[in-house]
Amino acid sequence: MKTAAALLGLSLALSSTAHAQSLPDLGGKEIVVVTENAYPPLQFLDASGAAIGWEYDAMAELAKRMNFTVKYENISWDAMIPAVSEGQFDLGMTGITIRDDRKEKVDFSDSYMTSEMVMMVRGDEARFSDKASFAANAELLMAAQPGTTPFYVGVYEVLDGDEANPRVKLFETFGATVEALRAGDVDLVLTDGTAGAGYVDASNGGLKIVGEKLGTEDFGFIFPKGSDLVGPMNAGIAALRSDGTIEALNKKWFLDYKLGQ
């Protein structure tokens, strides 16, 4: 039995090594990555102003394994997909939901994370507790970034399907929607569970999640159409998943980091 176990362990180790060796070598290529730094714990600025997060760690690991360097740029969400589509950047990362309409403009990597849409409110909110009670009160307002998954979920799954509904207040950045919520200018922000958990845990009771989950979404990196980076990145994501790196990053940023705050 011990011999069999040892052989199995050796086989797994060799398989992992072979898989790592099979990853593409990008020859030190510089890849320009654009992000928003507004979705903790995926990517955000810490108290010192340093850019950190799950996606930064994952990209650093991919760069090490596939021999490329990364140059980071920052841009607002509403400009990101058009800019990547036009080839201004090689890759975009900011917890971007993989959607068919976006695939018409950019190419996506395989999913590296699945998250659920949640309703984020102030910590003392007592006027509503789910999407039905929010929709029923015409005085309540929702903040959203135009063109985002939370915008469309809010319009079509929470409200009445009217994209011009005055109850939806539009903001340029996700951070601005959260600040509007904190200030009492709006009453609800929809976000993926990843970002929502990060903001709630850092709020010291100022924010909370209410209601049921509003579906799931898969996150992927985006590239200009026809980019030759999609295949290598997909291979890298598969490697990070198969050897437990993604699981370790999830533990670091969704458990250990929160406990340390």
What DSSP line would sit under 132-186, residue for residue?
A: HHHHH-TT--EEE-TTSHHHHHIIIIIS-S-TT-TTEEE-SSHHHHHHHHHHTS-
Q: Which of the pair, 243 or 10, is modelled with greater confidence?
A: 243
- The whole model's pTM is what? 0.70
* Number of domain units in the chain: 2
* Domain-located, residue 185: yes
Q: Can you tell me whether residue 44 is helix, strand or coil?
A: strand
Same domain (yes/no): 107, 233 = yes
Report DSSP letters for 243-254, one per residue: TTHHHHHHHIII
The range of the structural domain enclosing residue 51 comes to 27-112+220-260
Same domain (yes/no): 226, 102 = yes
Same domain (yes/no): 125, 83 = no
* Domain-located, residue 7: no
List the CATH number of the domain containing 205: 3.40.190.10
Same domain (yes/no): 240, 196 = no
Same domain (yes/no): 175, 120 = yes
Same domain (yes/no): 121, 192 = yes
- Tens of pLDDT, residue by residue over 131-173, are 999 999 999 999 998 888 889 899 999 999 999 999 999 998 8
Label the pairing between strands 188-192 and 44-45: unpaired
Q: Considering the chain, what is the average pLDDT of its residues?
A: 88
